[in-house]
Structure 1
Amino acid sequence: MPPIPQGQQFGANAKPRQHAAAAPVVSYTPTETVIPPTLYHKVPNLELYQKLKEAEKDVDILISRKALDFQAIQQKTIHPLNFKGETGILRVFVYNTNENQPWQKQLQQEQGKQVADPHAESTWTLRVEGRFLSDSQDNSESEAFKFSSFLSGISIDIIPNDDYPALQNSLSNIIEWRNDTGDLSRNINSASFDGLDIKRSGIFNINTKIAILVKSHSARLKLSDEMSQFTGKHESTQQELIYMIWQYVLYKNLIRKTDNLTKVPAVSSSGLHDGTINQDADNEDLTVAQADSVLKSLLKVDTFKFTDLYKLLQPHFKPRAPILIDYEVNTRKSTTLGEVVLDIPIELPLNLSKVQKELLNFNKLAFDNLTKADGIIQKLNSRIALGIVSLQNANLREDFYRSLSDDPVKFIEQWLESQAETLKALKSDEGYDEEIVRRAQYFEENESLIRDKIDLLLGSNRF
């Protein structure tokens, strides 16, 4: 028995090796979502699908416009000042201590203690100090911040009285400290002190006025009295105020032409079929709001667009006012620590690296949600395409059986004739002679046959 060639030595269960360059997998899933017009008069309620397609086009136009708006808004909102940093409480202590007061010397003598310096001058020291208390449990970064890091300025005004004639018209009555650093990137510990001490000679009480201007790392501004009554806040950003007015307009149903949103069975936007909106037609613009008595007193207009709110709200924004404290220096106690304590809400400077990480996570989450939504939409489109294919197949069967029932003899004759032509076209490949087909006469005599063969070839995907 001759030996089996090496290329033919394989077991009974062996499988042939697949070619490395195998053809890619072809998907035969239908993707057509358009119903043929001939089916609309045969199948009821198909007009609802057509309305849904038109509404989908309008929604796509709106989404495209809003995507451009959101991109423009995002470019503005990614500024560091628009992010919210870590919050906490700045606890401020205002107190004074006394040294070498007459009553202190007398008390030491009564207790049998030796007075260090009987002729020492009586003094008092006013101290303003602060400490930051973070709202978060991880306060490792905030522990290194000094009191001065949270201030734009502090002013202490000593008010002279008859007991202190030397302080009259003295320049030492006003003590000011200002933080002139406007650069957010500067080290926050560059101006570092936890407290400010003011020491003066005297044995009598005296009044002082303390002004503390807290540094703002956000775009918050002080609101006017009218706007404060409307919002219930003393400070706000422009974005927050516009959002409050938007919520108020929706609650009061002040948007013009709100019936346009409910006249169609699906989400639709009249006037968007040409892809444009006439911004000058206020009667058809859904961004125009009718001001009621409250908004009219605030904005001084009868109607307004939301794009004009920035300009209309400017008169209601004012610079942030300092915190004023009236404090009386008490020289009858060794210390008044704990009597005047003030808690001030504080927002820390923005940590850009932390914000970038949060923004990256947010965008990733949004992208994942969009991917899931796209998958759901793709599944719905596949179901719609399969339904349309089923309708088309049912329509072909209906036409076949209707033609058969109307005239069976004629239908069978036509069917046999078409099958014969198909068979003739399929068998026409036999006896192919290149010398014959090189002549134009062949194509003139067999034009109909060649046309049928081309149609059959394209229909059978044999090319």
Structure 2
Amino acid sequence: MSHPSSAPAASSSQMPAPPPPSSAPKRKMTEQDALKHSKRFRAHVPPLPVILNIPESRMYQDLVQMEQKLDWTITRKRAEIQDAVARPTKTKRQLRIYLSNSCVLPETSDVSGLDRSPPRSWTLKIEGRLIDSGNPRQDKLTKRKFSTFIRSIVVDLKGPNYTMAGPTNGNLIEWYKPPSHPHQDGFTIQRPLSPSHDSSEGLPCRILMQLDYDPPRFKVLPQLADLIDIKEDTKASVLQAVWNYIKIKGLQDKDDRRRVRGEGAFGKLFPNQPSIPMHILPEIINQYLTVPDPVVIHYTIQTNVEKYTHPRCFDVEVEVEDTNRSRGNAILASFAEEGAKEVAGLEEEISNLSIAIRNARTKRDFLQSFSNDPSGFIHHWLDSQARDLSLTLGVESQGGFPNRGLSAEDLRRSELFHLPWAEEATVLYDGAKLIELQLKAQQQQQTQRR
């Protein structure tokens, strides 16, 4: 019995974790610090007067900082789990195969001398299961049917005078896994015996099983295997090994990095070519890959007993998916499901409360200013409203300035025209003049047409 070669463990460097947020020593928060602090946080952080005047709001800020650290840690761990799940991690397990056969023997004829026994036949059973690893949880997650590990089975009957009864008239029994087929724990082959077969002689056969790998594995031909020291592996691993060989030997063309030079033993893979483009390298490598060797079991079907079980069982090394991958998928799913709606609802509620606090703060400041100085507040408020209305409507007054609500003393000061409203007023004034000129031009055109 031959065994499939062991695949090298896939290696992948973990994604470097970014440094956590720096934690500076706490000091007393000034007004400017609080303003920067409130801008750096999200929208539902309490506004500046609330942070400065309400002691309990500092507890909320600490909770927000803690939430940020937790979000950072969860995001980093999620990225690490996604990286681990994306890697094709496999574990080695033993698949135990059992062989047995039964045979229908001829019965003694009755009183009339007629042989009423059914025709002689034999039945071969090929069964298998994974050997327990000793970890009940892992065994439960990796429980699979025998046919999931097999891609094809060929039974070669080697009897000297044996031919199968039926239209095929051959000594080969073949089975290939169809695209959609219910999985099973074993295979049963039943065939009639030739009338000329001597029951005292066994029926030797050879069972060839091609294992089903995911991703597919290939046998590397000696011309390439001697270079990369790989006998059997996946196509991606073989290409990676070839690329490592090219880098170690310095075979990449220095003038044109898109080409590979064929020097030494590597040049024997593509003879009569001094160099090849990099993009055709996979096609050349495919020429040196073939199907892996099958698992071969020699067995003799006993035709002189009703039931026979082979005294030996056969262990074959197979690859199964690591249970940690399924656990990682479950953890990633829990990130998206557990508490997501609840957290989103709380975030929305906090945002609404923050908006309500801002509105209440604005009303409070408005009423408090009015209660402290009613007359001055009203004059200041009227001046502000008049200025805004003048800027919005572009109303002109003395000297062509939008001076409603402005005193003569204000107009004499140059600082007045460096305020933000001056630029906006200029834009509005220019726009109003432009519209007025366009209207006059349209009126003149209409007059000329008449």
TM-score norm. by structure 2 comes to 0.43
